Amino acid sequence: MTSTSLSKLCSAMVACALFFAPTVVGQMPDEVDRGDATFEIERSSWLGEVNEDQSLVVSNNFGNVNCRFGGSEGQVEILATIQHFASEGPRLEVAALTTKNEVRATVGFREQADGELIVEPDPDQLKRADLVVFVPESRNLEVLSRDGMIDCRGVRGDVTATATSGAVLVRGTTGRVVASTGSGGVTVLFSPHGSKRIQRVKTISGKIEVHIPANAHMEVRVETQGEISSDFKMNLTADGSNGLPRRGVAVIGSTGSELELNSKTGSIGIVRRLGTD
């Protein structure tokens, strides 16, 4: 992240643009020769505020989203690395918009400077944007992606991660986790101090793997037509015969929080985490 002095400077620069039309701040394009075409790498950043009654929503169909803990002062910082060939037309941008209930950052491009933001990739182009998002404490986070990876670590709030086919990794969050994808895998490392509300992980064909501390108190319910493995004792309530999904329940410690793991055909694995963190 930026230093304290630079963060204060950036705050002053964007204060009047917090409830704004989409903008990109701090572009630093580099050019790398790739034969007959010019491949450009551009870095940008945005700094803003997320109030306690607002959620942070990040949508990126052009690459990965990496989310990290961003401090306790309510500031969100988004760093973007954007790659494209100069011949591919309009550049990608990170457009940020604040409403009463949310701060939303969306990656896309515009055919015209004042045109509509296009958020679906052109399959004939190689545009790419990878984001690092520093999420303030106690703010709920929602991340949306197509086939890029969603990687959330140490976020101190609720996390909802939804991908079409990309992988999802969530680790060390203190809030509720809801994660889903299609063919990508989902890995979640739960904390014994996590949410007491129902948490859910879902895929279509992707593998689900959850790591649960040995000292946790959690009831885990699983359902899939794929394989099920567990380091904890599990009671199978349906064995998958006659084309029906397998179902099982594992009670870890005493019944505290609830976790639902659901896949159509993907395997589900429950791993015992050693230690208490």
Q: Determine the Cα–Cα distance for residues 64 and 122; give it in Å rounded to an integer.
A: 17
Q: Where are the beta strands (DSSP E) in 99-207?
A: 102-108, 128-135, 141-145, 150-153, 159-163, 168-171, 177-180, 186-189, 199-203
Residue stretches of the chain with pLDDT short of 70: 1-37, 275-277
Burial of 11 (0-12, 13-18, 19+ CB in 10 A): middle
Q: What's the pLDDT tens digit per position in 200-227?
A: 999 999 999 999 999 889 999 999 999 9
In this structure, are residues 103 and 48 in contact, taking their beta carbons and an 8 Å threshold? yes
**Which pLDDT does position 8 carry in this prediction?**
36
Report the run of H or E that residue 10 belongs to, with start and end.
helix 4-14
* pLDDT (0 to 100) of residue 39: 78
> In this structure, are strands 65-69 and 55-60 parallel, antiparallel, or unpaired?
unpaired
Q: How distant is the alpha carbon of residue 63 from its chain centre?
A: 11
The rounded distance, in Å, linking the Cα atoms of 218 and 53 is 29
Q: What is the pTM of this model?
A: 0.85
Structure tokens of 110? 């515009």
